[in-house]
Amino acid sequence: MRKQENEPDRVRRHTDPVVLDRIDEKIERNIRFYATQAPHALGNRITELENEWDLERVLEANAATLAFSGAVLGLVSSKKWFLLTCGVMGFLFQHTVSGWCPPVPVLRRLGFRTRSEIDREMFALKVLRGDLREGSAASAEQHLAV
Amino acid sequence: MHAQIKSNDPDPVRRVTAPEVLAQIDKKTEENIRFYAAQLPGVIGRRIEELQREWSIERYLQLHMSTFGMITAVLALTTKRSWGILTCAALGFFLNHSLGGFDPRLPVLRRMSIRTRREIDREIFALRALRGDFNKAALPQPVVPSESVQSVLRAVGI
């Protein structure tokens, strides 16, 4: 709880402490596991993290699909379908201003992470790979160019 | 610096950003990093907090989508149904964006130098490295400051 009060990531601030601990533990376990792996395994994991779908993206895809279906049905069948669009857009608005809306706890429980959480793991792996060391700067650049 | 402008960028928004706009955004990030590299740790710390609270492009886009979507859907419900065409068009692009494609609102926001979370996180990571947060893990020997900025910039892909 304490660490959540001044948490700059709004989604993390509103995540249930138990779920948050589980997410953080998983990040730590991943980092500890990959710290002992060969550089190419680290590279593969970094690529995987770069392509991981973050919470905002999952939420946007869900909201867009639901609201879009509502609007199309509203146009071709009953006007009442626009109520669905309105409801979903209301939740999205709530999420934008507060960082919380009903689907977020569900998605968090499913393990979806925010981009800053993913980036945290990714940068930790980059440090462990030695991307910050003088000699490896060139090899780091090669990795990034892949 | 321009090596990062590539079609297989993992960031979907960077992928659909015009190369000159992308170069401008990256240049700004690099200037920020170089400026704060010369500041005291306390100043860097405040900058990191500021960056953590910076609004990402997703947030601006969601704000536009939700207000525009609500207004047009309410108008479609209460007045002419054809208002729903606007709702549909905006939501179609929003869906396309979430699947990694283009949305006409993106170039407008990008020209206003609005960054993605990944771009903001890169600057945060670079500043953390320069402040010495990873010294025990990555930089055992003291290095020449200008060289360390250079290697940090490379590490974050700028």
* Single-letter amino acid code for the residue at A106: V
Q: How far is B113 from chain A (nearest CA, A)?
A: 19
A60 and A108 assigned to the same domain: yes
The secondary element (H helix, E strand) that includes residue B138 is helix B135-138
Residues 6+ apart with CB under 8 A from A22: none
The pLDDT confidence band at residue B124, using thresholds 50, 70 and 90, is very high
- Domain range annotation of chain B: 1-54+115-158, 55-112
pLDDT tens digits, B55-106: 999 999 999 999 999 999 999 999 999 999 999 999 999 999 999 889 999 9
The pLDDT profile of chain A, 146 residues, written as one tens digit per residue, is 456 777 888 899 989 999 999 999 999 999 889 888 888 899 999 999 999 999 999 999 999 999 999 999 999 999 999 999 999 999 999 999 988 889 999 999 999 999 999 999 999 888 888 887 765 544 444 444 43
Position B100: which residue type? G
Instruction: Give the pLDDT confidence of A21-43 residue by residue, as tens digits.
Output: 999 999 999 988 988 888 889 99
Q: Is B89 on the interface with A (CB under 8 A)?
A: no
Q: Is A120 found in the same domain as A108?
A: no
In 3-state terms chain A splits into helix, strand, coil percentages (rounded to 5) of: 75, 0, 25
Domain span holding position A79: 55-112
CA distance B52 to chain A (A): 6
Whether B61 contacts B103, CB under 8 Å: yes
Contact A140 B59 (CB under 8 A): no
B87–A85: do the CB atoms touch at under 8 Å? yes
In terms of domains, do A48 and A120 share one?
yes
Q: Does A141 contact B at CB distance below 8 Å? A: yes
- The residue behind tokens 């770069």 is A50
Tell me the torsion sign for CA atoms B80, B85, B86, B90: positive
Q: Give the pair of three-digit tokens for residue A41.
A: 């395994």
If asked whether residues A48 and A59 sit together in one domain, one would say no
The count of structural domains within chain A is: 2
Q: Does B81 touch chain A (CB under 8 A)?
A: yes
- Nearest one of A120, A127, A111 to A28, comparing CA atoms: A120
| A107 in the same domain as A119 | no
Cβ-based contacts under 8 A for chains A and B: 152
Q: Are residues A43 and A80 in the same domain?
A: no
Nearest beta carbon to residue B98 from set A60, A88, A123? A60
Q: How far apart are CA B49 and CA B39, in angstroms?
A: 15
pLDDT band at B136 (very low <50, low <70, confident <90, very high): low
How many angstroms from the chain centroid is the CA of residue A120? 11
Q: Assess whether A61 and A88 both reside in one domain.
A: yes
